[in-house]
Amino acid sequence: MGEQTVSTEAEILANPLYPTDAATYTEYHNTMFSMENELTAMHRMINSLYDKQKQLESLLSSLPAGEKFAAVKKDGEALLKKMKAWDEDMVQRKSKAYDDVENFPNKFTGQLPVPDQSDRE
């Protein structure tokens, strides 16, 4: 507080009610950290593909009408349809508020367990 600083040293001991040694705690931490990294990478990929989907929507809507771009529009709309279907399977984008989980079921990403972030080093 202000100019005053207080510090101390502490040692965190294992809970004697659990027969878990330091190596097991380390293994658990490494496993959870690895899972968290994989989950984060998956979420980033999903969000990146969602951005690409929005870019494709914008591009398709900006193409002029006429026969010249008909094939491109047809292929683009087919791709967009596949991208939307995949995204809808992965993420529930309709949920905006806490109680929306009652109205809209979780999708794939909502079913995955999220590691406890408090045990990071």
Mean predicted confidence (pLDDT) in 21-29? 90
**Is residue 16 assigned to a domain?**
no
Q: What is the pLDDT of residue 104?
A: 62
pTM: 0.60
Nearest-angstrom CA–CA distance, 10 and 8: 7
Supply the range of the domain harboring residue 54: 22-98
Domain count, the chain: 1
Q: At residue 1, does pLDDT exceed 60?
A: yes
pLDDT tens digit string along 45-57?
888 999 999 999 9
Q: What is the pLDDT of residue 119?
A: 44
**Is residue 93 assigned to a domain?**
yes
Nearest-angstrom CA–CA distance, 86 and 46: 10
**Is residue 78 assigned to a domain?**
yes
**Is residue 59 assigned to a domain?**
yes
Q: At residue 110, does pLDDT exceed 70?
A: no
- CA distances from residue 45 to 28, 35, 88, 99 in whole angstroms, order as listed: 26, 15, 14, 27
